[in-house]
């Protein structure tokens, strides 16, 4: 076998070293390329997360802004609502210093009826409703085995005795296209024209009682605090339905 010279051995070693360096450089480039691609992915995800956070923050700010605008608008609407009787939400008396218009006879009588300890009625009572009350006692009509006092085919309650200062039970009946909602009864005395509650709950006066359900009947207790004719203004929810007049002994 031919013996290699020292220079040949050196050249081969140098070639191997150069080859290894070139191979290592290629591997390093491959690894560096992968690293750059991963960094690009991370950068894109970071930008996307920032965009999502910005969009979410913008949506939250917009929602609170809309709620704020809604509250301001609602307060303005409440302040501008017409109130035929001039009854203020703070239950201040009619004819206060805020109103320079003198009270008419009906409004003065209505004002006196608010001294009930439970505040003003939760419904809007139109002045025209009070002015147009027909003080004729409402008629009765038969229904099943009962005698109903009220407006036939519309609204009424099982007729009973009406004695001042004595609570009694009354079963309400509703017909026609009566809406569903809480029943409110506003009682007005013919002589004094005072507005008073008539419904009772646990021996206390209330303006509103239970929800009128799908069976269109509703039990209640009522008491009238003085004798005479009483007009019962009937509301379901915020809607005025009709008036029933009874004669209390």
pLDDT tens column, 201-210: 888 888 988 7
Residue 154 has pLDDT above 50, yes or no: yes
More confident residue, 124 or 107: 124
Closest to 173 in 3D by CA, of 134, 132, 202, 141: 141
The secondary structure of the chain, three-state, reads CCCCCHHHHHHHHHHHHHHHHHHHHHHHHHHHHHHHHHHHHHHHHHHHHHHHHHHHHHHHHHHHHHHHHHHHHHHHHHHHCCCCCCCCCCCCCCCCCCCCCCCCHHHHHHHHCCCCCCCCCCCCCCHHHHHCCCCCCCCEEEECCEEEEEECCCEEEECCCCCCCCCEEEEEEECCCCCCCEEEEEEEECCCCCEEECEEECCEEECEEEECCCCCEEEEEECCCCCEEEEEEEEECCEEEEEEEEEEC
Domain with residue 122: its CATH number is: 2.60.40.3830
Instruction: Report the distance separating Cα 218 and Cα 173, nearest Å.
Output: 7
Residue 100 has pLDDT above 70, yes or no: no
Question: What is the model's pLDDT at position 142?
Answer: 93
User: Would 86 be classed as within a structural domain?
Assistant: no
Tokens at 167, concatenated: 């609570």
For the chain, how many structural domains are there in total? 2
Residue 99 has pLDDT above 80, yes or no: no
Residue 157 has pLDDT above 90, yes or no: yes
* Structure confidence by residue, pLDDT tens digits, 158-192: 998 899 989 999 999 988 777 778 889 999 999 98
Q: Mean pLDDT across the stretch 113-141?
A: 81
Do 119 and 51 belong to one domain?
A: no
Do 237 and 126 belong to one domain?
A: yes
Closest to 96 in 3D by CA, of 84, 105, 83, 87: 87
More confident residue, 108 or 236: 236
Do 118 and 202 belong to one domain?
A: yes
Do 72 and 109 belong to one domain?
A: no
User: Would 122 be classed as within a structural domain?
Assistant: yes
User: Would 192 be classed as within a structural domain?
Assistant: yes
Q: Mean pLDDT across the stretch 123-133?
A: 86
Instruction: Indicate the average pLDDT of the chain.
Output: 74
Which region among 5-9, 44-48, 204-208 has the lowest average model confidence (pLDDT)? 5-9
Q: With beta carbons less than 8 A apart as the criterion, state whether 171 and 157 touch.
A: yes
User: Would 93 be classed as within a structural domain?
Assistant: no
Question: What is the model's pLDDT at position 87?
Answer: 36
Last residue of a domain, one of 29, 48, 81: 81
Q: Mean pLDDT across the stretch 20-44?
A: 71
Q: With beta carbons less than 8 A apart as the criterion, state whether 189 and 228 touch.
A: yes
User: Would 17 be classed as within a structural domain?
Assistant: yes
User: Would 241 be classed as within a structural domain?
Assistant: yes
Confidence band for 85, pLDDT divided at 50, 70 and 90: very low
Residue 96 has pLDDT above 80, yes or no: no
Q: Mean pLDDT across the stretch 239-243?
A: 92
Residue 143 has pLDDT above 80, yes or no: yes
Do 170 and 221 belong to one domain?
A: yes
User: Would 155 be classed as within a structural domain?
Assistant: yes
Tokens at 90, concatenated: 């703070």
Q: Which range is most confident: 35-39, 77-81, 205-209?
A: 205-209
Query: Within 13 Å, how many C-alpha atoms sit on residue 135's CB side?
Result: 11
Do 76 and 109 belong to one domain?
A: no
What percentage of the chain reaches a pLDDT higher than 70?
Answer: 60
Tokens at 79, concatenated: 């302040």
Do 24 and 130 belong to one domain?
A: no
Do 20 and 119 belong to one domain?
A: no
Do 63 and 112 belong to one domain?
A: no
User: Would 11 be classed as within a structural domain?
Assistant: yes
Q: Which domain holds residue 59?
A: 1-81
Question: What is the model's pLDDT at position 189?
Answer: 92
Confidence band for 7, pLDDT divided at 50, 70 and 90: low
């Amino acid at each position: 076998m031919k013996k290699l010279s020292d220079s040949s051995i050196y050249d081969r070693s140098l070639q191997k070293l150069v080859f290894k360096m070139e191979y290592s450089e290629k591997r390093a480039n491959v690894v560096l390329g992968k690293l750059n691609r991963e960094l690009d992915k991370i950068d894109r995800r970071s930008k996307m997360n920032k965009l999502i956070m910005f969009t979410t923050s913008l949506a939250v700010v917009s929602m609170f802004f809309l709620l704020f605008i809604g509250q301001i608008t609602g307060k303005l609407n409440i302040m501008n609502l017409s109130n035929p009787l001039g009854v203020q939400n703070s239950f201040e008396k009619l004819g206060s210093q805020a109103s320079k218009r003198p009270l008419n006879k009906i409004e003065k009588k209505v004002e006196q009826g608010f001294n009930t300890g439970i505040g003003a009625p939760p419904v809007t009572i139109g002045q025209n409703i009070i002015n147009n009350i027909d003080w004729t006692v409402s008629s009765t009509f038969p229904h099943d085995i009962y005698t109903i006092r009220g407006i036939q085919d519309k609204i009424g309650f099982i007729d009973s005795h009406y004695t001042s200062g004595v609570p009694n039970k009354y079963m309400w009946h509703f017909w026609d296209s009566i809406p569903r909602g809480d029943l409110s009864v506003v009682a007005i005395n013919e002589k004094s024209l005072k507005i008073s509650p008539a419904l009772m709950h646990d021996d206390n006066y209330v303006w509103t009682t239970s929800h009128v359900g799908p069976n269109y009947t509703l039990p209640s207790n009522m008491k009238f605090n003085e004798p005479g004719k009483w007009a019962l203004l009937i509301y379901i929810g915020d809607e005025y339905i009709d008036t029933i007049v009874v004669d209390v002994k």
